[in-house]
């Protein structure tokens, strides 16, 4: 093709292990830039869900790529990515077959070294991964730290520092639940339950260059305000406003730098977004104004789920959400009901453009009540 190659695969005549195997698979290779390679593996017959991330694909292949890609068909399909300058193999799926079923996609690859980093979010004792047959889930959830489990984020990307110090990164662009098993070979096996296998390779060769190339593809983080670099105090469990005020005063008493104070769900009425508890926190708006005059910023927490049990006219965020029809729905077109901090809730559908308008209006209206400086948005899935 003008961008690289297309390899068409047919399923090996072998009893199905999972069921609903893909009979034909396309492997599309795009030599996008000298430092970036894309290998997309997906069903040749049925359309699959693809992450809606617009990564620019040049119309023609790069002239002087830092890598080569080679294919093998025996005993099963596999491919290798090699760094031209050193001849180092940085990705090699010939270690194991490719499994492509409707709800089970898997590949294995050898790694150039055991210097492996990434695949968040989990709690590790070191940034470098333990390669001794450790399996990490990749799926966001509301789970406390101090555990060897999947936590609040999912970053299906890893960095491998090669034996000679050169560095590359690999992004597996898939948003489904997945896991990765790390093996002492060194090697890894990646499994997911949906979507497609869409791999992006970033050749660096330095760690900083690899990260830069990755960010050029997926987009840079939003630039934070300067004040957000300051010293911050955040906790859950203040009994009331007086308890929070006492914490602030203790910081000042002991000359501990304190630029930003947070308010967790403690300040809310019945833990509902865009509300203030009238019993223990009625004076919070005035206190926030005082903090700001004294040079301290204030950040509030907001949970995406919205309490759904109030009668019309009691809780405007619910009324407005109902009117704008912005909730996540089930297959029958009814809002999905869950249970989070405030009790029974609906979940805003942030893929709905109207939901963006609803969220913006609620945030602006609440800022008229409580003049916060920033939002701590707890957008992980929880129920």
The 10s digit of each residue's pLDDT in 204-246 is 999 999 999 999 999 999 899 999 999 999 999 999 999 999 9
The share of the chain scoring above pLDDT 70, in percent, equals 99
**Joined tokens for residue 44:** 């040749």
Q: What mean pLDDT is predicted for residues 7-22?
A: 90
Q: What mean pLDDT is predicted for residues 50-76?
A: 93
Shortest CA distance to 61 belongs to which of 83, 37, 41? Answer: 37
Spatial distance between the Cα atoms of 148 and 150, rounded to a whole number of angstroms: 7
Spatial distance between the Cα atoms of 149 and 165, rounded to a whole number of angstroms: 30
Q: How many CB atoms lie within 10 A of CB 184?
A: 11
Whether 151 shows a pLDDT value over 90: the answer reads: no
Distances (CA, A) of 111 to 91, 107, 167, 182, 357: 6, 13, 12, 10, 46
SS3 322: helix
Q: How confident is the model at residue 75 (pLDDT cuts 50, 70, 90)?
A: confident
Whether 143 shows a pLDDT value over 80: the answer reads: no
Say if CB 343 and CB 351 are below 8 A apart. no
- 145-149, 314-318, 344-348 — which is least confidently predicted? 145-149
Terminus-to-terminus CA distance in the chain, angstroms? 46
Confidence at residue 46, expressed as pLDDT on a 0 to 100 scale: 95
Confidence at residue 381, expressed as pLDDT on a 0 to 100 scale: 72
> pLDDT (tens digit, 9 = 90+) per residue, 285-319?
999 999 999 999 999 999 889 999 999 999 999 99
Average pLDDT of the residues of the chain = 95
Within 13 Å of residue 76, how many CA atoms lie on the same side as its CB?
16
Confidence at residue 140, expressed as pLDDT on a 0 to 100 scale: 84
Phi/psi for 26 (5° steps) reads: -105, 140
Spatial distance between the Cα atoms of 75 and 152, rounded to a whole number of angstroms: 40
Confidence at residue 315, expressed as pLDDT on a 0 to 100 scale: 98
Confidence at residue 17, expressed as pLDDT on a 0 to 100 scale: 85
pTM of the entire predicted model: 0.87
Confidence at residue 123, expressed as pLDDT on a 0 to 100 scale: 84
Select the more confidently predicted residue: 148 or 358.
358
- 12-21, 29-38, 249-258, 320-329 — which is least confidently predicted? 12-21
Whether 379 shows a pLDDT value over 80: the answer reads: no
Q: What mean pLDDT is predicted for residues 48-68?
A: 94
Q: How many CB atoms lie within 10 A of CB 156?
A: 20
Confidence at residue 43, expressed as pLDDT on a 0 to 100 scale: 96
Whether 380 shows a pLDDT value over 90: the answer reads: no
Shortest CA distance to 210 belongs to which of 67, 110, 106? Answer: 67
Q: How many CB atoms lie within 10 A of CB 53?
A: 12
Q: Which residues pair with 71 in a beta bridge?
A: 79
Q: What mean pLDDT is predicted for residues 187-200?
A: 98
Q: Is 188 exposed, middle or buried (0-12, 13-18, 19+ CB in 10 A)?
A: buried
Confidence at residue 145, expressed as pLDDT on a 0 to 100 scale: 74
Whether 201 shows a pLDDT value over 90: the answer reads: yes
Confidence at residue 15, expressed as pLDDT on a 0 to 100 scale: 87
Distances (CA, A) of 354 to 322, 327, 350: 11, 10, 8
Spatial distance between the Cα atoms of 231 and 345, rounded to a whole number of angstroms: 34
Shortest CA distance to 340 belongs to which of 383, 279, 296? Answer: 383
The domains of the chain, with CATH numbers, are 4-218 (2.60.40.1760), 226-377 (3.20.20.80)
Q: What mean pLDDT is predicted for residues 16-26?
A: 93
Whether 148 shows a pLDDT value over 80: the answer reads: no
Spatial neighbors of 149 by CB under 8 A, at least 6 apart, are 122, 137, 143
Q: Is 314 exposed, middle or buried (0-12, 13-18, 19+ CB in 10 A)?
A: exposed
Q: How confident is the model at residue 9 (pLDDT cuts 50, 70, 90)?
A: very high
| H helix and E strand count, the chain | 5, 22
Q: How confident is the model at residue 125 (pLDDT cuts 50, 70, 90)?
A: confident
Whether 383 shows a pLDDT value over 80: the answer reads: no
């Amino acid at each position: 093709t003008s961008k690289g190659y297309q390899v068409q695969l047919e399923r090996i005549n072998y009893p199905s292990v999972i069921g609903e195997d893909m009979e034909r698979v396309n492997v599309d290779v795009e030599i996008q830039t000298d430092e970036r390679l894309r290998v997309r593996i997906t069903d040749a017959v049925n359309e699959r869900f693809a992450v809606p991330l617009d990564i620019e694909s040049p119309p023609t292949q790069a002239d002087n790529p830092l890598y080569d890609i080679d294919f093998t068909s025996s005993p099963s399909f596999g491919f290798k990515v090699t760094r031209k300058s050193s001849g180092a193999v940085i990705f090699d799926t010939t270690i194991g077959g490719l499994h492509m079923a409707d709800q089970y996609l898997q590949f294995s690859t050898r790694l150039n070294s055991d210097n492996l980093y990434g695949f968040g979010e989990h709690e590790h004792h070191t940034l470098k991964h333990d390669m001794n047959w450790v399996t990490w889930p990749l799926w966001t959830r509301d789970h406390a730290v101090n555990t060897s489990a999947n936590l609040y984020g999912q970053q299906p990307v890893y960095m491998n520092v090669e034996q000679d110090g050169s560095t590359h990164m690999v992004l597996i662009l898939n948003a489904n639940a997945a896991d990765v098993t790390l093996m002492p070979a060194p090697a890894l096996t990646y499994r997911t339950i949906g979507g497609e296998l869409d791999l992006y390779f970033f050749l660096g060769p330095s760690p900083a260059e690899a990260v830069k190339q990755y960010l050029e593809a997926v987009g840079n983080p939003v630039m934070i305000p300067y004040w957000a670099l300051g010293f911050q105090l955040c906790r859950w469990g203040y009994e009331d406003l007086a308890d929070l005020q006492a914490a602030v005063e203790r910081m000042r008493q002991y000359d501990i730098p304190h630029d930003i104070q947070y308010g967790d769900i403690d300040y809310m009425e019945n833990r509902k977004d865009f509300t203030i508890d009238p019993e223990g926190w009625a004076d919070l708006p005035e206190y926030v104004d005082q903090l700001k005059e004294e040079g301290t910023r204030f950040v509030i927490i907001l949970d995406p789920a919205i309490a759904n049990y109030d009668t019309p006219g009691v809780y405007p965020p619910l009324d407005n959400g109902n009117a704008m029809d912005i909730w996540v729905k089930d297959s029958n077109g009814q809002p999905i009901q869950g249970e989070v901090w405030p009790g029974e809730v609906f979940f805003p559908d942030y893929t709905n453009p109207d939901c963006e308008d609803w969220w913006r209006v609620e945030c602006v209206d609440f800022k008229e009540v409580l003049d916060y400086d920033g939002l701590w948005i707890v957008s992980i899935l929880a129920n």
